[in-house]
Amino acid sequence: MYKPVDNRNAISIDEARKVIVENIGSVKLGSEKIPSIESNHRIIAQDVVAPNDYPTFRRSGYDGFAMLQEDLTKLPRTLKVVGDIPAGADFDRPLVSGEAVRIMTGGYVPDGADIVVMLETTRMIDKDTVEISETQHKDNITPIGDYFKKGDILLKKDTEINPGGISLLSAFDIQDISVYKKPTIGIITTGSELLHPGEQIVNGKIFNSNGPMIRNLCKENGADVISYTQIKDDPNKLKTAVNDLLDKCDVIITDGGVSVGDFDIIADLAKSSEKLLFNKLEMRPGSVTTAFIYDNTLFFGLSGNPGACFTGFYLFVEYALRLMQHQTSNCIECIATLNAEYTKTNMYDRILRGQYKFVGNHIEIGRVGGDASGNLNNLQRATCMFEIPRGKSITPKDSELRTWLLPFK
Amino acid sequence: MYKPVDNRNAISIDEARKVIVENIGSVKLGSEKIPSIESNHRIIAQDVVAPNDYPTFRRSGYDGFAMLQEDLTKLPRTLKVVGDIPAGADFDRPLVSGEAVRIMTGGYVPDGADIVVMLETTRMIDKDTVEISETQHKDNITPIGDYFKKGDILLKKDTEINPGGISLLSAFDIQDISVYKKPTIGIITTGSELLHPGEQIVNGKIFNSNGPMIRNLCKENGADVISYTQIKDDPNKLKTAVNDLLDKCDVIITDGGVSVGDFDIIADLAKSSEKLLFNKLEMRPGSVTTAFIYDNTLFFGLSGNPGACFTGFYLFVEYALRLMQHQTSNCIECIATLNAEYTKTNMYDRILRGQYKFVGNHIEIGRVGGDASGNLNNLQRATCMFEIPRGKSITPKDSELRTWLLPFK
């Protein structure tokens, strides 16, 4: 019943990420066309090219009068106001010497005109005559194609679109774009101790808290959770659950069943996989976090322990989900300053959950709540994770530590 | 046709935000019950309290054997293994002296037992007998209520829920929670120059790019865009559009119609409002950004200029949307180091769009693309904004500047 666990070869966080990078190619995301207006935070699958010059007409940079520069060689000069061009209007003929038209910011500069004089520097002599007395230094006209030429790349392949990109697509009336499909995820939480919502609490049993957390972490990180199941510790049930998902999912995340002494069914599956990525890490919590490729599906076996599950998700699953979409992690890695001595020492690098704040031009980090990995008290409040390096000495206040600022927190 | 614009009183970014803070109380968000599993990034409207102690039973911290401490006064000691308690199992009677039970991490510690000895430090003599030879320093038992006591506040009112909070709610089987309703937004883009998607490009006209940007910015910042319209510069059309929205929207955002020389219908509306918050700012771009309260609805008049619209949204609309939900801005304000000399000087504080990166323990910022506010080229790529203070001298490399790191970028 209690299988001996194979000797496992522990690797570092960076080594584990390197192995993910080297093997992520096994998981291929297809692409799909979607409406640009709904593409926020999707990843562009092919370069988006300008279908036309932009601006498409010579545009006035200011509110004022359009006219010919040759009329301004001797100042002051009065010109006949032959019309006005409000926003959105065309003008039906070229302007000629001696004429001016009233024009709005962004308005169409008529042919013939080659300067816009700002309203503030003009004076109306009567309702049809404007006087210019100041020397002009700029023409205040944005030429056709000044911002973008037809054929320019507007948004590169592998760009994550944001509202700024949507404004650009809209300016060119590009209504649909090609994006990578969202990674499809199956989540299988294992554990005979897990109750379903609404069940009676009894000795030995707990409600499943990691499953709902993983589900929401996947969603907020741009993945599509297409299946979510909760099963007892039973190798056959797990096999069935996995087989049901293999064809449908790019990534399968299991939770529980990875600890020494557990039924260790995930370890068995990992052993039979094409490619074990890692099954032991030089860190706490989450040292037994496991990853492997099976049937072109990326598997993550997260620890059933809440703190370890949380840590494993941010350090490896988030990293992989972003990588599959050709993106870097949204966990910003930086060096931050510890706000108080940390006295525990450890044989392993310890990843603590904490909070950060900007103080002047640097980042200060501190612990939040207890760091018992079974305790749920700080998963909500943690906004960063930081690393206490292994060793026998305490970590003093003001230590500069490797830190990950967590996204969407 | 070209109305003179009233003299406007310019205030600073901080003063404008202060005025928003002082008046945000006019806009009240109700609350609603929603399923906890779908509450990610919603804001809790009342304290969530623990319905029970947690853990609900004495829980083993390790894989090993549960037994009585009194049996360990003389070592080595052998004990009879009377059963095992896998994850999720109960035990039917109290343990007595001389007995041990095999127990899993997280397992139920039976009555009578008061210590769990880690598996690694035990030895099986035969299949029913375990030997303990090492002195124990900890009991490895998590008592009932050790993490949370019944009645403890699990999540405070005004907390933005994240996946960690959802795990906590799930652990207590709290299936529904009370959250603030999302702010409802109406967006009205004004401008006779604006084409609708699919229309033919003609001289003087452009596709609406700000509208789709604002719409997506609102959505990603937790608001519910319930109406989106595009109208020509026409005071009557604007009045009709506003009247249609007043009852339904917490916030109405108009875009365009705020510049000097524009038809300035927003300024008219602002004048007739209960409370003008501001209509001129000491900054560029976006100096004419306007805000007022009308019929308990918060109005923002953003500039039609893309860069100014972008800047105005992040500095004021995002700020207000978060404030309405009792949150601080997601734009992290910090001091960052300029990576290259900026030679332009300005009478106004200039807000540039840029990119940031962590270099060691501080943040380096730089410009991205041109900063012409009519140019759409860097709205996608900007990940921060920073302030070049007004003045007559150039801003040298390594200047430490007020910076806002933009969220969801």
Tens of pLDDT along B332-349? 999 999 999 999 998 889
**Single-letter residue type at B20:** I
Count of Cβ atoms closer than 10 Å to residue B248 Cβ: 13
- Which stretches of chain A drop beneath a pLDDT of 70? 1-7, 257-265, 373
Does a structural domain hold residue A342?
yes
- With respect to residue B5, please indicate whether it lies within any of the assigned structural domains: no
As a whole number of angstroms, the distance between CA A340 and CA A357 comes to 14
| A108 contacts B203 by C-beta, under 8 angstroms | yes
Does B7 reside within a domain? no
Phi first, then psi, for residue B396 (nearest 5°) are: -75, 160
Identify which of B119, B217, B333 has the shortest CB distance to residue A261.
B119
pLDDT digits (tens, 9 = 90+) for A188-241: 999 999 999 999 999 999 999 999 999 999 999 999 999 999 999 888 888 899
Q: Check CB contact under 8 Å for B379 and A216.
A: no
Residue B2 lies in a domain: no
In 3D space, the residue among A265, A121, A242, A133 whose CA is nearest the CA of residue A191 turns out to be A265
Q: Which two tokens mark A37?
A: 């207006």
- The ipTM estimated for the assembled molecules is 0.93
pLDDT for the residue numbered B264:
61
Interface contact flag, B56 A142, Cβ < 8 Å = no
Tokens for B291, please give them: 């805000």
Task: Give the separation between CA B402 and CA B384, rounded to whole angstroms.
Answer: 11
CB-based contact A197 B360, cutoff 8 Å? no
If asked whether residues A41 and A176 sit together in one domain, one would say: yes
The backbone torsions φ and ψ at residue A26, rounded to the nearest 5 degrees and listed phi first, read -65, -20
Q: Specify whether A213 is located in the same domain as A305.
A: yes
Contact A361 B362 (CB under 8 A): yes
Reported confidence tier of residue B261, pLDDT bands at 50, 70, 90: very low
B201/A56 CB distance under 8 A:
yes
At A156, phi and psi to the nearest 5? Answer: -80, 150
Torsion, CA A31, CA A34, CA A36, CA A39, rounded to 10: -70
Q: Would you call A107 and B162 a contact, using CB atoms and an 8 Å cutoff?
A: no
Taking alpha carbons only, the member of A278, A358, A378, A284 closest to residue A319 is A278
Residue showing tokens 């009045």: B239
Amino acid at B387: E
Residue B233's pLDDT is 85
Does A267 or B37 have the greater pLDDT score? B37
**Chain A residues lying within 8 Å of B207, measured CB to CB:** 170-173
> How many domains, in total, are found in chain A?
4
To the nearest whole percent, how much of chain B has pLDDT over 70? 96
| List of E strands, B279-321 | 283-284, 290-294, 297-302
Instruction: Provide the 8-state DSSP code for A325.
Output: T
Q: Are the Cβ atoms of A90 and B204 closer than 8 angstroms?
A: yes
Find the residue in A nearest to B257 (Cα). Answer: A87
**Gap between the Cα atoms of B66 and B116, Å rounded:** 4
Domain with residue A366: its CATH number is 2.40.340.10
- Is the Cβ–Cβ distance between B119 and B104 less than 8 Å? no
Asked if the Cβ–Cβ distance from A88 to B56 is below 8 Å, we say: no
Which residue range is the domain that position A174 belongs to? 36-51+150-180
List, as ranges, residues 180-239 from A with C-beta within 8 Å of B: 191-195, 197-199, 201-217, 219-220, 232-233
Model confidence at B188: pLDDT above 80: yes
Considering the domain architecture, whether residues A288 and A186 belong to the same structural domain is answered as yes
pLDDT of res. B361? 80
**Are residue B209 and residue B154 in the same domain, yes or no?**
no
Residue A171 DSSP SS3: helix
Has residue B1 been placed in a domain?
no
d(CA A312, CA A341): 25
Note the pLDDT of residue B263. Answer: 46
* CATH number of domain containing A167: 3.90.105.10
A343 in the same domain as A261:
no
Query: Which chain B residues are Cβ-neighbours of A210 within 8 angstroms?
Result: 167
Same structural domain for residues B319 and B359?
Answer: no
**How close is the nearest chain B Cα to the Cα of A274, in Å?**
30
In this complex, do B361 and A360 lie within 8 Å of one another by their Cβ atoms?
no
Residues B106 and B120 in one domain: yes
Statement to judge: residues B45 and B168 lie in one domain: yes
Kindly identify which residue of chain B lies nearest to residue A149, measuring between CA atoms. B377
Question: Do residues A172 and A263 share a domain?
Answer: no
CATH number of the domain enclosing B22: 3.40.980.10
Give the other-Cβ count within 10 Å of A69's Cβ. Answer: 12
Of B324, B353, B378, the residue that ends a domain is: B324
Q: What is the reported pLDDT for B235? A: 82
Of A324, A358, A391, the residue at which a domain comes to its end is A324
pLDDT tens per residue, range B134-154: 999 999 999 999 999 999 999
Looking at residue A161, what is its pLDDT? 98
Partners of B214 on chain A (C-beta within 8 Å) are: 163
- B212 shares a domain with B187: yes
How far is Cα A343 from Cα B258, in angstroms, rounded to an integer?
58
Cβ atoms of B362 and A145 closer than 8 Å? no
Q: For testing the chain B interface, which of A40, A170, A379 should be mutated: the one with the most B CBs within 10 Å?
A: A170
CB pairs under 8 A between A and B: 288
Cα separation, A298 vs A316, in Å, equals 12
Residue B322 has pLDDT above 80, yes or no: yes
Asked if A393 and A345 touch (Cβ cutoff 8 Å), the reply is: yes
Chain A CA closest to residue B222:
A408
B3 interfaces chain A, CB cutoff of 8 Å: no
Mean residue pLDDT of chain B comes to 92
Task: Residue window 314-353, chain B: list those with CB within 8 Å of chain A.
Answer: 332-337
SS3 at position A18: helix
Give every CB contact of residue A254 below 8 A, 6+ residues apart in sequence.
A187, A188, A189, A190, A238, A266, A299, A300, A301, A302
Q: CB distance from B165 to chain A under 8 Å?
A: yes
Average pLDDT over residues B219-231: 96
Cβ–Cβ under 8 Å, residues A97 and A68: yes
In this prediction, residue B3 carries a pLDDT of 42
Interface of B with A in 5-24 (CB under 8 A): none
d(CA A270, CA B180): 44
Q: Looking at the domain assignment, is residue A74 inside a domain?
A: yes
CB contact under 8 A, A166 and B216: yes
Q: Name which of A306-310, B103-107, B183-187 the model is least confident about.
A: B103-107
Query: pLDDT-derived band of residue B395, with 50, 70 and 90 as boundaries?
Result: very high
- Residue A256 one-letter amino acid: G
Q: For residues A259 and A288, is the Cβ–Cβ distance under 8 A?
A: yes
Residue B135, number of CB atoms within 10 A of its CB: 8
Q: Give the per-residue pLDDT at B97.
A: 98
Per CB-CB distance under 8 Å, the chain B contacts of A201 are 52, 56, 173
**Which of chain B's residues have a Cβ under 8 Å away from the Cβ of A213?**
163-164, 166-167, 170
Shortest alpha-carbon distance between residue A19 and chain B (Å): 25
Q: Of B283, B316, B322, nearest to B299 (Cα)?
A: B316
Q: Is B261 on the interface with A (CB under 8 A)?
A: yes
**Would you say residue B104 lies in a domain?**
yes
Give the A window 366-395 contacts with B, CB below 8 Å. 374-382
Contact flag A89-B192 (C-beta cutoff 8 Å): yes
Does B95 lie at the interface with A, CB-CB under 8 angstroms?
Answer: no
- Which of B124, B142, B160 is at the close of a domain? B142
Q: Is B393 exposed, middle or buried (0-12, 13-18, 19+ CB in 10 A)?
A: exposed
**Residue A8 belongs to a domain:** no
Which residue in A142, A166, A376 is closest to B374 by CB distance? A142
Q: Are residues B289 and B344 in the same domain?
A: no
Four-CA torsion A78, A82, A87, A88, nearest 10 degrees:
-150
Closest Cβ opposite residue A209 in set B90, B168, B209? B168
Question: Are A229 and A339 in a shared domain?
Answer: no
pLDDT recorded at residue B262:
46
Say what the pLDDT of residue B239 is.
86
